[in-house]
Structure 1
Amino acid sequence: ISSVKKGGGKMIPGEKIFKLYDTYGFPIDFARDIAMDAGLRIDEDSFHAAMEAQRNRSKAVTMKGEAAVAIEAFGKGIIGIGKSEFVGYETLQVHTFIKGILSAETLQKGEEGDIILDKTPFYGESGGQSGDTGIIKSAGALLNVLDTKKTASDHLLHHIKFEKGTIKTGEEVACSVDEETRKSTMRNHTATHLLHKALKMVLGDHVKQSGSVVDPERLRFDFTHFTAVQPDEVRKIEDIVNEKILGDLLVRTDIMGVDEAVKTGAVALFDEKYGETVRVVSAGDFSKELCGGTHCKATGEIGPFVIVSEGSVASGIRRVEALTGKNALDYFRQKKAEIEGIKGSLKTENPSGKIEKMINEMKGMEKEIQRLKTGSAKDTISDALNEAFDLGGIKLVTLRQDGLNPNELRLLADNVRDRLGSGIIVLTSVTDGQAAIVGAVTKDLIDKYHAGDIVKNISKTAGGKGGGKPDMAQGGTRDIEKLNTALASVYDIVKNSAIS
């Protein structure tokens, strides 16, 4: 904004806004509002041109990575074969014939390949929804459909594996989609629409879909939002979705022009390219979206809905993963089994109360262990004080107590300093082959001695490194033999560290 104003312009380049969207997920709606507040406009034509170029690059990669692999491998194009008529919205079974085999003229038992059908009930992976699986039969062959993909040229490729027999182009076949898998996918897809609307209701209208994955196992939904979704917000979203599921809302699909669809309030993805006519999927009066996927006939078919995770995937982009139907039920059963296991291990019907009590007891024991380890409960400090060096009228207390971590060693130094009153302290501890060194100087002596210099010199002599503030410093070494040498010379090292 500042650079545009400085140049006397009124238009923000669309490419700049697209870079913000592509890199950080920053919505164009937000950018438009900010620009208007600054008295500027966004070149939305160039923004959408950049978006279209990105989409084409993405499609090219997808084509090369999926459908084009088969084309390049066998030197055959699919454009001349012709497209399949998709009848999977109305039926899961159909009699048809094979229009093309991409891998060879014929396929035999045990081989995998890609075929194109004249008509197909198999949904091809697109719009975030996974492809259908199932079986294809002919008079003498049985094929397993492992996956179905929609190419950039809108061809539906059926990736199949032969179980028996052979097939050839032009042969009549009977197709059957795996009904359980399709229905599980439909439950997750319809639930995604309910989730999208619930997110807007709870978090705000700024929520925009940034991506989704819908398969038989779960649903994943990415959306624009700039803070973590709080636990109480997650519960509200779950409650809204489950309320609409229990309401058994009719799910209706209407086909209309894209402009007409948007006028009716249907939610469209602004970065998605639509044809002249679109499918508008409505769940009662609750949600309405442009969508080419497959859906339940009523929301009651979804079954239980539960959000299992929420987190950040990019700046300004959050991700929700959820389960529906039997998968949600299995999730609840798993959690119940875990709780029952915990109750059994703790021998209580109130595991949360028992765990809270155990945590409090553990904290108390940790404090007691720390108290014991730092020597405040025994004569360690008294012995060290009695054996202190006399450094020209200044007490130099040294103590080695192994098994302490650096934090515990600092606490021990505080305890020694409290009882010493005035003087210099050098403490060491060896744990797992690593030595920690802590030095302390009481405040009345920091004009004569610097704890950082003392620890630095001791650590250097011991083959390590160290340093710190005038009154407290820390160092360390892995060479325990050199540490012993340094401790034997600690009097001279401290004496030579005096501030001149």
Structure 2
Amino acid sequence: IQAEEDKFEKTYEQGMDILQEMEDRLEKEGSKELSGEDAFRLYDTYGFPLDNTREILEERGFSVDEAGFQAAMKHQKDTAREDRKKSGKSSTYMGASATVYEEMDPSVNSVFVGYDKTVCDSKIAALAAFASEDGEEDAVVQALSDGQKGAVITLETPFYGTMGGQVGDIGRIVLGDDSGTEGAALGKGAAVFRVTATEHVAGNKIAHIGYVEKGMLKQGDLVRLEVDAGNRMAICRNHSATHLLQKALREVLGTHVEQAGSYQDAGRTRFDFSHFQAMTSEEIKKTEDLVNKEILEGLDVVTEVMTLEEARKTGAMALFGEKYGDMVRVVRMGDFSTELCGGTHVKNTSQIGSFKIISESGVAAGVRRIEALTGENVRVYFEGLEKKLNEAAELLKTSPSEVPEHIGRLQKELKEARSENESLKSKAARDALGDIMNKVQDVDGVKVLASALENVNMNELRSLGDELKQKLGDGVILLASGENGKVSLMCMAGDEAQKRGAQAGKIIKAAAAIVGGGGGGRPNMAQAGGKNPEKIPEMIQKVPGIVAEMIR
């Protein structure tokens, strides 16, 4: 909460400084309305809400072009949308133009054969070379040589292309005899193409994207395609765990849970789902425990291809809004989970190993996100936590098992010390007031009290202001304090003082300008900040004159 308050205060100060500059410009121009573009810049760049801008300006006699603000916001959204469209049309992975795939032979199609194997032999049907630093553009080519970046299209492939939230496979494509190749070698003249990503591209093709590690690959070559089996298994663990997770969430939270998005790579799984509020720690634990229970059950993972109608009769879950063909692939995990899915999976849930939720957060209204780990990544995660726990124990000079109790004692001591410190600061501030009432000046019948204090924050200034208000009665109070190189200002004005023209918001605006800052507020109370603490004495001396100019 404190971090959020500090962040808000910083945003408020930045916004007030920019708004002050805009207001000064309006006064010079003789205008009474802030443009929508300027209001939107405050909002977009500095996070300053339109409501705040409107309220402050209205107190100072200005208005905001709200229609212009909405127009500026719409323009930004439209521009971003067009940029995304252009980006999607002009490029795919690694900066390759999408049109390069459209220029390939349309009769060439890729067939995925990797559900049950990670190695296969096939013929290179097409090649693309990606743009190089010497100015060459993306192009369909007959060969790729050592060091070139590009894409290889084969008639068959065990490489899964990115789809349905599952990231594509990595691995290599080998031609001829290579010492690192598992199994029989093919052809003559060794060549290796390192696959760093696999994507579905135009023309029902699967593109193996990467670079030539050595040798040369030519169209028509018979090659061996080798998926990185360890990476594939890690992805399978995460994808299968996601199916278990969705079913577990529906059991723990309710059947309103629907998939809103997902992503699985070798490192983690990310699952977005419909839910109206943050999950409690108890709900997260129940979900995690249920997934791990089904992993330990060792459920067989069975896949079947059937008609969409048959799949619906089995009760298989489908992605809301997704369009499916007449034939679909159904993935069943025991009697626990049944979903329509085209991804790759483990053969048995026991292969997932273990499951750990590492975060739960909101990504949009009514949409939550869970990120989780499986298998080896869970072990690495807990090893990291254990290391941090041991480091904490060493710093606290206690054993790992006693760290929570030790921290509890330290927190209690810190709370007591902070409370004592606040009491001492408050007492020091009140002691500093001393004979402050002797500083009251009469400015044309309006009592004015302006004083500076050392190392007092805004909350304390307001509290002291309330006390002085009781002693002073009607009048104007302005308190200033320098702390950590910054200035805090607080001003209060009584009803009669306001009737005479002495308004807190206007007074503090003029005072803040002297100390290199800006601010404002209501006629009866206002606050501001500044950047030049050394100017505080000068500002205090000028306050009576500022009030005098306003009194009518």
Q: What TM-score, normalized to structure 2?
A: 0.70
Tell me which amino acid in the other structure corresponds to 2:165: G
SS in 1 for 2:540: helix
- 2:99 maps to 72
Equivalents in 2 of 1:116, 1:449: separation in Å? 79
The alpha-carbon deviation at position 236 of structure 1 amounts to 1.2
Mapped contact 1:452–1:469 kept (Cα < 8 A) = no
Mapped contact 1:194–1:287 kept (Cα < 8 A) = yes
Equivalents in 1 of 2:330, 2:309: separation in Å? 12
- Identity score, percent: 39
Equivalents in 2 of 1:475, 1:135: separation in Å? 63
Equivalents in 1 of 2:445, 2:98: separation in Å? 90
- 2:118 maps to 92
Equivalents in 2 of 1:169, 1:469: separation in Å? 76
Tell me which amino acid in the other structure corresponds to 1:79: P
- 2:334 maps to 284
Q: How does 1:123-162 map to 2 (within 5 A)?
A: 123-139=160-176, 140=189, 141-162=191-212
Among 213, 218, 221, the alignment partner of 1:163 is 213
Tell me which amino acid in the other structure corresponds to 1:267: M
Mapped contact 1:210–1:223 kept (Cα < 8 A) = yes
- 2:487 maps to 435
Mapped contact 1:76–1:102 kept (Cα < 8 A) = no
Q: How does 1:18-29 map to 2 (within 5 A)?
A: none
Question: Residue 342 in 1 paired to residue 392 in 2?
Answer: yes
Mapped contact 2:474–2:496 kept (Cα < 8 A) = no
The alpha-carbon deviation at position 178 of structure 1 amounts to 0.8
Give per-residue Cα distances to partners, 1:222-248, cap 9 Å, x unaligned. 222222222221111111111100111
- 2:271 maps to 221
The alpha-carbon deviation at position 389 of structure 1 amounts to 5.5
Select between 253-262 and 131-140 the one with higher mean Cα deviation. 131-140
SS in 2 for 1:226: coil
Equivalents in 2 of 1:458, 1:295: separation in Å? 66
Mapped contact 1:202–1:233 kept (Cα < 8 A) = yes
Question: Residue 365 in 1 paired to residue 417 in 2?
Answer: yes
Give per-residue Cα distances to partners, 1:361-395, cap 9 Å, x unaligned. 33333333333334458742333246655889998
Question: Residue 114 in 1 paired to residue 151 in 2?
Answer: yes
Q: Structure 1 pair 397/185, CA: closer, same or farther in 2 (3 Å)?
A: same
SS in 2 for 1:401: strand
Q: Structure 1 pair 366/393, CA: closer, same or farther in 2 (3 Å)?
A: farther
Q: Structure 1 pair 460/234, CA: closer, same or farther in 2 (3 Å)?
A: same
The alpha-carbon deviation at position 69 of structure 1 amounts to 3.9
The alpha-carbon deviation at position 209 of structure 1 amounts to 1.2
- 2:62 maps to none
The alpha-carbon deviation at position 220 of structure 1 amounts to 1.2
SS in 1 for 2:454: coil
Equivalents in 1 of 2:439, 2:94: separation in Å? 82
Q: Structure 1 pair 76/421, CA: closer, same or farther in 2 (3 Å)?
A: closer
Q: Structure 1 pair 435/456, CA: closer, same or farther in 2 (3 Å)?
A: farther
- 1:4 maps to none
Number of corresponding residues: 437
- 1:487 maps to 540
Equivalents in 2 of 1:314, 1:436: separation in Å? 37
SS in 1 for 2:203: coil
The alpha-carbon deviation at position 461 of structure 1 amounts to 5.5
Mapped contact 1:461–1:483 kept (Cα < 8 A) = no
Equivalents in 1 of 2:466, 2:334: separation in Å? 69
The alpha-carbon deviation at position 281 of structure 1 amounts to 0.6
Equivalents in 2 of 1:394, 1:95: separation in Å? 95
Point out where structure 2 has 5 or more consecutive residues left out of the alignment: 1-83, 130-140, 177-188
The alpha-carbon deviation at position 123 of structure 1 amounts to 1.3
Q: Structure 1 pair 256/457, CA: closer, same or farther in 2 (3 Å)?
A: closer
Question: Residue 384 in 1 paired to residue 436 in 2?
Answer: yes
Q: How does 1:202-213 map to 2 (within 5 A)?
A: 202-213=252-263
Equivalents in 2 of 1:486, 1:164: separation in Å? 74
Mapped contact 1:88–1:121 kept (Cα < 8 A) = yes
Q: What TM-score, normalized to structure 1?
A: 0.77
Select between 487-496 and 328-337 the one with higher mean Cα deviation. 487-496
Give per-residue Cα distances to partners, 1:371-423, cap 9 Å, x unaligned. 333445874233324665588999865532122222222233345556x4757
Mapped contact 1:70–1:114 kept (Cα < 8 A) = no
Question: Residue 405 in 1 paired to residue 449 in 2?
Answer: no
The alpha-carbon deviation at position 160 of structure 1 amounts to 3.8
- 1:237 maps to 287
Equivalents in 2 of 1:261, 1:183: separation in Å? 26
The alpha-carbon deviation at position 309 of structure 1 amounts to 1.7
Tell me which amino acid in the other structure corresponds to 1:284: G
